[in-house]
Amino acid sequence: MPRTRSVNRTSIQDVAAAGGVSLMTVSRSLRGVDGVSEATRSRIVALAAEMNYVPSSSARALSGLNANLIGISFPTLFNDVFPDILEGMRRIFDEAGYSSVMDTTDYDRMRELAWADRFLSWRPAAVILTGVDHDDRLRRRLTASAVPTLEIWDVTQTPIDICVGIDHRAGGLELGRRIAALGYRRPAYVGAPAGLDPRADQRFDGVAEAFRDVGGTAPTRVAGVGGNSFVVGAEGFGRIDLRTPPDVVFFLTDNMAFGGMMAAQKAGLRVPEDIGIVGFNGLDLTTVLPRPITTMTSPRRQIGLTGARHLLARLHGVSPPKITRLPCEFVPGSTVRAQ
Amino acid sequence: MPRTRSVNRTSIQDVAAAGGVSLMTVSRSLRGVDGVSEATRSRIVALAAEMNYVPSSSARALSGLNANLIGISFPTLFNDVFPDILEGMRRIFDEAGYSSVMDTTDYDRMRELAWADRFLSWRPAAVILTGVDHDDRLRRRLTASAVPTLEIWDVTQTPIDICVGIDHRAGGLELGRRIAALGYRRPAYVGAPAGLDPRADQRFDGVAEAFRDVGGTAPTRVAGVGGNSFVVGAEGFGRIDLRTPPDVVFFLTDNMAFGGMMAAQKAGLRVPEDIGIVGFNGLDLTTVLPRPITTMTSPRRQIGLTGARHLLARLHGVSPPKITRLPCEFVPGSTVRAQ
DNA sequence: TTGTAGGCGTTATCAG
DNA sequence: CTGATAACGCCTACAA
């Protein structure tokens, strides 16, 4: 447990001494509150800047003010959905005067718990978690600390506080039905290992139900391995047993679907004549492809914006909806055969 | 400037009172330092957990201990190079007992400065910046505060403290020479608007020099617009004037190159027969493509790992090399014509 | 093994 | 308009 030596820094005291005023005058000047003559204020502000004075957030937080800090935890940087969700969200917090910090958990609930413990120790204004499956201790601690909490990307009837997301099972179900309606009956599913990513499991369940309903086979599930999603998709496809070939392969994301499609073509299969390829999320990649991927869009930017607004409302004492479920939309694409 | 009301939280005092001991006994118990009987320790630890006690990092930091906090600033979540750089890096800090937080700057030096100001106010153990071009005030403040600083992804002879990266100009130069050697003479370059991303400018300069040396035309420069790199690449290609068509197009990244290649093919151009396509970074995407993109790998994971190790050494009082320049490597691919 | 005093840097409060 | 004082919650140092 290393411990770096703390460095000499100029404190508000130093500035006060150098300016020949009391420390409170410096404090007031720097914060721009009333009660200081314009002359001394500008003098002190200049002096502080010149002395490279940086106020201590720890002391400020300790003296009673809130840290105006929002923590965001998400599973991984390697999934294109999270940048989309975070993009608009962080800008909104910025403009509202909050600063937000991010951390990743690698889909590990214990890492998420550890992060939350560390982060709560800074007395933040709010906490944002990805998904609604968390360790029980995390729920307890969040509830106990009464810190406003936003769960994004997934929804539940029993959020810790408020949640904004999509119904992944319903999304998988609708997607599965659309594909089954085209006559496909032997699906495979390439995604995260069962139990790792709850959203992957839910979508799988939805797809499975759709094919069960039409008398198709249960989808073969193939686990991709972590890292770049194109590679995961391609490797996942390679792990499908082609001796009893599926007629359509669902992928966890469009990027994985693209990787899988490349692997399929390398294996001599034509898309969609020999095999159908289906993605999820409606990622921007598919807009540049000559053959757009059949997929289900998820309103990622919308989730980020709505989540941010609801959380801000919560912070301002207004009560936003506890549960906000946003719609997905089917995109026909052309990587499955036409009706 | 909103200000959330601070919430009732159980303090070390409360635990002490409830346990019938002094506050110091609680403090010692929780930190696991010597000087507490095993009996009381376990009793107190259990009690604290039960009371959902979370120590205040602010108070701890203020009382002299270091925050063990490392801040990482990078331009955007939408560029595949940064996740690669950050991946190994953050794990190393984790294992060394530091917690790291990330923020993005949108390639805006003022945002970077603002972030640094906010972050330095927490008295962090170290700061990590992307690139070596920063506002002068940032350099001054970092130097004044004496916080160990690591600059990654780019190198300079005059780092703020230490730096680990690649020479982007040299990379562009070598890449340009390889391509020029194949007989190409009319390059175009699709990347960030001039002046936005210093690394893009450096690579452009390198490519330009290579073609100047062989009597080729100066590369036409086309600016992509922010957001998803596939889309930026495709749109950038669309902005090239095809009445005086280039014979080869360089892109800032492989993902952009892929987007551009799709746009080229949509425009009826064959790759590489009609036009060459060249990327940069050796991103994982190209490993799944039937036609791998001609590119230059950048040692992104290596940069992250080496940077993290050097910074840790620095934090432990050892002096790592101030400047570490890692090599790039040319990948022939097959999106340019063969020798 | 346990407890007491003092201080970390800032702000709220009240006095001048 | 300005300054003195007492918190904020924790830890070091010393005392019992």
Q: What are the angstrom distances between the C-alpha of A198 and each of A61, A71, A127, A169, B67? A: 36, 21, 20, 10, 34
Residue whose CA is minimally distant from D7 C1': A63
| pLDDT value, residue A56 | 86
Put simply, the answer to whether B7 touches A146 (Cβ < 8 Å) is: yes
Residues of B in contact with A140 (CB under 8 A): 52
Give the CA-to-C1' distance from A118 to D6 in angstroms: 30
What's domain A168-298's superfamily in CATH?
A: Response regulator (3.40.50.2300)
pLDDT in 10s for each residue of chain A, 339 residues: 222 334 557 888 888 888 889 888 998 998 888 878 888 898 999 988 888 888 888 888 888 766 789 999 999 988 889 999 998 899 999 999 898 999 999 999 999 999 998 898 888 999 999 999 999 999 988 988 889 999 999 999 999 999 999 999 999 999 999 999 999 999 999 998 989 999 999 999 999 999 999 999 999 999 877 778 999 999 999 999 989 999 999 999 999 999 999 999 999 999 999 999 999 999 999 999 999 999 999 999 999 999 999 999 999 889 999 999 999 999 999 999 987
Q: What are the angstrom distances between the C-alpha of A51 and each of A10, A33, B134? A: 7, 21, 20
Angle at B29 between CA B35 and CA B65, to 5 degrees: 90
pLDDT in 10s for each residue of chain B, 339 residues: 222 334 457 888 888 888 888 888 998 998 888 878 888 888 988 888 888 888 888 888 888 766 789 999 999 988 889 999 998 899 999 999 898 999 999 999 999 999 998 898 888 999 999 999 999 999 988 988 889 999 999 999 999 999 999 999 999 999 999 999 999 999 999 998 989 999 999 999 999 999 999 999 999 999 877 778 999 999 999 999 988 999 999 999 999 999 999 999 999 999 999 999 999 999 999 999 999 999 999 999 999 999 999 999 999 889 999 999 999 999 999 999 987
The region that residue B47 occupies, defined by phi over 0 for left and psi between -120 and 50 for alpha, beta otherwise, is alpha
Put simply, the answer to whether B62 touches A65 (Cβ < 8 Å) is: no
Q: Which residues contact B138 (CB under 8 A, 6 or more apart)?
A: B109, B112, B113, B116, B129
Nucleotide nearest to A19 (CA to C1'): D2
Footprint of strand C on the protein (CB under 7 A): A 9, 11-13, 23-24, 27, 30-31, 33, 55-56, 59-60, 62-65; B 21-25, 28, 34-37, 39-41, 59, 62-64
Q: Which nucleotides of D are covered by protein (CB under 7 A)?
A: 1-5, 7-13
**Inter-chain CB pairs, A–B, below 8 Å:** 184
Where do the structural domains in chain A lie, given as residue ranges? 12-166+300-326, 168-298
Distance from B133 to chain A by nearest Cα, in Å?
A: 20
The structure's pTM equals 0.91
Put simply, the answer to whether A58 touches B54 (Cβ < 8 Å) is: no
Distance from B300 to chain A by nearest Cα, in Å?
A: 14
Would the Cβ of B291 be found within 7 angstroms of any atom in strand D? no
CA distance B124 to B147: 7
Judged on CB neighbours under 10 Å (0-12, 13-18, 19+), B193 is: middle
Give the right CATH number for A12-166+300-326 from 3.40.50.300, 3.40.50.920, 3.40.50.2300, 3.30.1360.20.
3.40.50.2300
Put simply, the answer to whether B230 touches A285 (Cβ < 8 Å) is: yes
Q: Among B88, B69, B128, which residue's Cα sits nearest to residue B306?
A: B88
Q: Which residues contact B103 (CB under 8 A, 6 or more apart)?
A: A99, A100, A101, A102, B71, B72, B73, B74, B115, B119
Among the partner-chain residues B64, B104, B262, the one whose CB lies closest to the CB of A288 is B262
Residue whose CA is minimally distant from D2 C1': A25
* Other C-beta atoms lying within 10 Å of the C-beta of residue B291: 13
CA distance B12 to B326: 49
Q: Quick check: B203 contacting A, CB < 8 Å?
A: no
| pLDDT value, residue B8 | 56
